[in-house]
């Protein structure tokens, strides 16, 4: 039997008695692109951080290729799934490293390439994302926030992950850059068989990149299905969430 | 009843933090002795922590040596034993003032900046990003800083000792009209290797303490706007207090018998 790439079962997570996530169940298959939508504070980032092993769920299990993800509670310094890449909502670039050093970090320390090869991979990755060479040796604090975001994406792609999680990748990007990003996510999923989970607030981009969409509301998974079914949903919270987009198009 | 509840919670919290600190300490030390080593980062920290602390430590010990000479001269004339000034300056600087003042000053300068740096990395998810990219933050962030603190502090203190004694010499010769040769002779003749060595061992311990406190508070920094500020303050206050407590304990160990 073939296992799903990612399977989440009965996930529950709370911080100091406030329940953030409850009864979360879903599967993502190889080469599939899942988009998670939901209002601010609905627990999207917490959910994806549980999947990479940065947060330990209180209850429930996460399986990657059928293997249960073990998260050491006292120290979560070793992330179990090193075939997963993660693009943080706030980019999280290393302040003390230049753009190229940020991007070659993963190839060098995660994939154990030597410094020269890692640099070569970083250059390729930067070219792929149209990062102009004049930025290559700058530091994150010198970049605009949208460029930081693109560098963070380049850093995540440079390790050639099997699974990649984007936490609001297009927030703060201009329309052209965000279209290009949607295209890039689509292409990576299709051509390189990457499994992607993308968090977004933008329904149009969700419809474009998703094979399936899941909606979180106050820590519960209230809807999931095909992109084409989203607009037909009769769930009141889903309708409320997508209404602004229906009227604008 | 409410009071008991408050006290109970306070005791539990303190115990919890102490436990956390002990575990953190053990892990930090074990990662200092275990590869991978990031040599470039260790070197960078040595420069940041050691080299850039030189002016602070130098100024502190220089003026302390000068004041010490003045004060002890003032006191010793009352017993007409002015000749002890040089010896007293040398002993107090090497045994006590050098390590303690350097430790406190470096805690203010370095302990706070370690806490602020790690705290802001934590808050902006850079620590999580390290984990995702296959690097243990204890190897990459904490071990280099602690190694640098342990190595740099004795060197700083040794330099501080020399500068402090020199400060005493300046005051002794130019203000109190000691004969330079006699002053130097009196400085050296009563000074034993154990005086200097004990000071340097203290310095290493202080370096370890201030490094650990900076890293601990930075690494466990809470989110939100006050998180980093609070971490910095706690790192400095707890670092200074621990230095003073351990100063007593180590002195007792060396000189009680
Ligand atoms: N480390 C933490 N400690 C305590 N509470 C947390 C922590 N991380 C997140 N939370 C809380 O969990 C809830 C969900 O946060 P989360 O970041 O997952 O929201 P989100 O859906 O990603 O929202 P946004 O779209 O704004 O990014 C929030 O109320 C937040 O305050
Ligand atoms: Mg979020």
User: What are the pLDDT digits (tens) for A161-198?
Assistant: 989 999 999 888 888 888 888 988 888 888 888 999 99
Q: How far is CA A77 from the centre of its chain?
A: 20
DSSP string, A39-76: -TTSSHHHHHHHHHTSS--SEEEEEETTEEPP--SS--
- pTM of structure: 0.91
Torsion angle of C-alpha atoms A217, A218, A220, A226, degrees rounded to 10: 10
Instruction: Tell me which chain A residues have a C-beta less than 8 angstroms from the C-beta of B131.
Output: 54, 76-79
Structural domains present in chain A: 6-247 (3.40.50.300)
Q: How far is the CA of A63 from the centre of ligand 1 (A)?
A: 23
Bridge-partner residues for B205, per DSSP?
none
Pairing assessment for the beta strands A59-64 and A6-15 based on DSSP bridges: antiparallel
Distance (Å, whole) CA B134 – CA A82: 7
pLDDT at B58: 97
User: How many domains does chain B fold into?
Assistant: 1
Residues above pLDDT 70, as percent of chain B: 100
Residues A158 and A106 sit within 8 Å (Cβ to Cβ):
yes
Q: Among B116, B138, B114, B127, which residue's Cα sits nearest to residue B26?
A: B138
Distance from CA of A96 to the nearest CA of B (A): 10
Lowest mean pLDDT among A72-76, A154-158, B54-58, B64-68: A72-76
Atom of ligand 1 nearest to the CA of A46: 18
- Cα separations in angstroms, A146 against A150, A173, B120, B138, B211: 6, 5, 20, 30, 36
Instruction: Tell me which chain A residues have a C-beta less than 8 angstroms from the C-beta of B120.
Output: 95
Can you tell me the mean pLDDT for A209-235?
A: 91
Q: How far is the CA of A21 from the centre of ligand 2 (A)?
A: 13
Domain extent at residue B52 = 2-255
Instruction: Please name the residue whose Cα sits nearest to atom 17 of ligand 1.
Output: A45
Pairing assessment for the beta strands A18-28 and A220-225 based on DSSP bridges: unpaired
pLDDT at A79: 55
Distance (Å, whole) CA B124 – CA A90: 7
> B215-228 pLDDT, tens per residue?
999 999 998 778 99
Can you tell me the mean pLDDT for B19-36?
A: 93
Q: How far is the CA of B197 from the centre of ligand 2 (A)?
A: 54
């Amino acid at each position: 039997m073939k296992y799903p790439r990612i399977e989440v079962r009965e996930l529950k997570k709370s911080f100091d008695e406030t329940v953030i996530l409850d009864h979360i169940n879903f599967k993502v298959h190889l080469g599939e692109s899942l988009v998670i939508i939901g209002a601010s504070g609905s627990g999207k980032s917490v959910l994806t951080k549980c999947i990479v092993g940065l947060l330990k769920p209180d209850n429930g299990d996460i399986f990657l290729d059928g293997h249960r993800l073990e998260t050491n509670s006292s120290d979560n310094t070793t992330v179990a799934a090193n075939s997963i890449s993660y693009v943080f909502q706030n980019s999280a670039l290393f302040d003390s490293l230049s753009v190229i050093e940020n991007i070659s970090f993963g190839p060098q320390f995660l994939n154990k390439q030597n410094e020269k090869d890692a640099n070569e991979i970083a250059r390729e990755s930067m070219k792929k994302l149209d990062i102009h060479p004049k930025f290559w040796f700058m530091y994150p604090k010198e970049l605009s926030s949208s460029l930081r975001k693109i560098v963070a994406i380049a850093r995540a792609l440079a390790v050639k992950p099997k699974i990649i999680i984007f936490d609001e990748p297009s927030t703060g990007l201009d329309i052209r850059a965000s279209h290009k990003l949607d295209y890039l996510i689509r292409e990576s999923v299709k051509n390189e068989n990457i499994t992607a989970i993308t968090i977004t607030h933008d329904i149009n981009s969700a419809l474009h990149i998703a094979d399936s969409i899941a909606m979180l509301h106050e820590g519960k998974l209230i809807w999931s299905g095909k992109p084409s079914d989203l607009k037909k949903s009769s769930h009141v919270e889903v309708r409320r969430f997508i209404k602004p987009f229906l009227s604008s198009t | 009843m409410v009071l008991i509840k408050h006290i109970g919670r306070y005791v539990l919290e303190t115990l919890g933090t102490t436990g956390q600190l002990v575990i953190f300490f053990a892990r930090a030390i074990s990662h200092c002795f275990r590869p991978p080593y990031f040599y470039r980062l260790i070197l960078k920290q040595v420069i940041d922590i050691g080299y850039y602390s030189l002016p602070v430590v130098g100024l502190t010990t220089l003026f302390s040596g000068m004041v010490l000479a003045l004060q002890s001269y003032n006191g010793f004339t009352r017993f007409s034993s002015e000749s002890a000034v040089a010896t007293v300056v040398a002993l107090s600087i090497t045994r006590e003032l050098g390590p303690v003042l350097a430790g406190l000053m470096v805690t203010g300068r370095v302990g706070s900046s370690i806490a602020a740096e790690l705290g802001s990395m934590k808050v902006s998810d850079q620590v999580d990003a390290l984990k995702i990219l296959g690097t243990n933050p204890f190897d990459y962030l904490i071990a280099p800083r602690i190694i640098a603190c342990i190595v740099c502090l004795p060197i700083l203190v040794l330099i501080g000792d020399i500068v402090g004694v020199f400060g005493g010499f300046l005051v002794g010769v130019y203000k109190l009209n000691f004969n330079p040769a006699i002053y130097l002779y009196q400085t050296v003749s009563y000074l034993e290797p154990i005086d200097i060595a004990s000071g340097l061992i203290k310095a290493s311990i202080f370096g370890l303490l201030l490094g650990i406190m900076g890293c601990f508070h930075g690494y466990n920094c809470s989110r939100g706007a006050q998180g980093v500020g609070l971490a910095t303050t706690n790192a400095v206050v707890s670092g200074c207090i621990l230095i003073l407590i351990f100063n007593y304990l180590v002195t007792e160990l060396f000189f009680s018998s």
